[in-house]
Structure 1
Amino acid sequence: MAAVVGTRELSRPAVVALQTLTVAACYYAAGRLGLLRRLVVEGAVFTPIWPPTGVAVAALLIFGLRAWLGIAIGALLVVMSFGPPQPTVIGLVAGNTAAPVCAYLMLRGLGFRIDLSRLRDGLAVVFLGALGSMLISASAGVGMLVLTGKLAADSFGPVWLAWWVGDAMGVLLVTPVILMLYGVRLPLRPRRWKEGVALVLAACVIVPVATNSPISLLFLVYPLLIWAALRFQHGGSVLCALFASVLATVAATDGVGPFKDMSDTALMIKLQAFNGSMALTALLLAAVITEQRNTRRSVERACQDLVQVLEHLTAGNSPPLPPRLDDGGRGPRNEAP
Structure 2
Amino acid sequence: MVGIEDLRRPAVYALQTLAVAACYFAAGRLGLMRQLVVQGAVVTPIWPPTGLAVACLLIFGIRCLPGIALGVLLVVMSITSLRPAVIGTMAGNTAAPVCAYLLLRRVGFRTDLSRLRDGVALVFLGALTSMLVSATTGVGLLVLTDKLAGHAFWPIWLAWWVGDAMGVLIVTPFLLLLHTARRPPPLTRWKEASGLALIACGLVPLATYSPLSLMFLVYPLLIWAALRFQLAGSILCALLASTTATIAATDEAGPFEGLTHVEVMIKLQAFNGSMALTALLLSAVITEQRNTRRSVEQACQDLVEVLEHLTAGDAPHTRPPKDDDGPGPEKGGR
Check whether TM > 0.5: yes
1:318 shift after superposition: 2.7
Choose from 59, 67, 70 the match for 2:56: 59
Aligned to 1:329: none
Q: Which residue of 2 aligns with 1:39?
A: 36
**What does 1:79-118 align with in structure 2 at a 5 Å threshold?**
79-118=76-115
| Distance of 1:279 and 1:188 partners within structure 2 | 23
Return closer, same or farther for 1:190/1:142 CA change in 2, 3 Å cut-off. farther
* Count of matched residue pairs: 320
| Residue from 178, 198, 216 that aligns with 2:213 | 216
Q: CA deviation at 1:319?
A: 7.4
Max Rg structure: 2
Match of 1:178 among 166, 175, 180: 175
Aligned residue identity for 2:256: F
The one-letter amino acid paired with 1:147 is L
1:22, distance to aligned residue in structure 2 (A): 1.1
Shift of 1:108: 0.6
- Alignment partner, residue 128 of structure 1: 125
1:165 matched residue in structure 2: 162
Q: 1:191 to 1:77 in 2, by over 3 A?
A: same
What is the CA–CA distance in structure 1 between the aligned matches of 2:78 and 2:122, rounded to whole Å? Answer: 30
Q: Alpha-carbon deviation of 1:8?
A: 2.6
TM-score (normalised: structure 2): 0.93
Pair 187,120 (structure 1): closer, same or farther in 2 beyond 3 Å: closer
Offset at residue 184 of structure 1 (A) = 1.5
What is the CA RMSD across the aligned residues, in angstroms? 1.7
Q: 2:8 aligns with which of 6, 11, 26?
A: 11
- Show the counterpart of 2:280: 283
Q: Alpha carbons of 1:87 and 1:294: their partners in 2 closer, same or farther (altered >3 Å)?
A: same
- The question of whether the paired residues in 2 share the 8 Å contact of 1:76 and 1:93 is answered with yes
Deviations 1:170-208 (A, max 9, x none): 000000000001112256644400000000000001000
Q: Do the aligned partners of 1:233 and 1:289 also contact (CA within 8 Å) in 2?
A: yes
Contact 1:46 1:162 in 2 (8 A): yes
Aligned-partner Cα distance in 1 for 2:7–2:107: 34
1:197 maps onto 2:215 in alignment: no
Q: CA deviation at 1:11?
A: 1.9
Structure 2 CA distance for partners of 1:268 and 1:319, relative to 1, 3 Å: farther
C-alpha distance in 2, partners of 1:309/1:186? 33
For residue 88 of structure 1, report the CA deviation from its aligned partner.
Answer: 2.0
Identity percentage of aligned residues: 71
Question: Which letter does structure 1 place at the counterpart of 2:268?
Answer: L
5+ long unaligned stretches in structure 2: 322-334
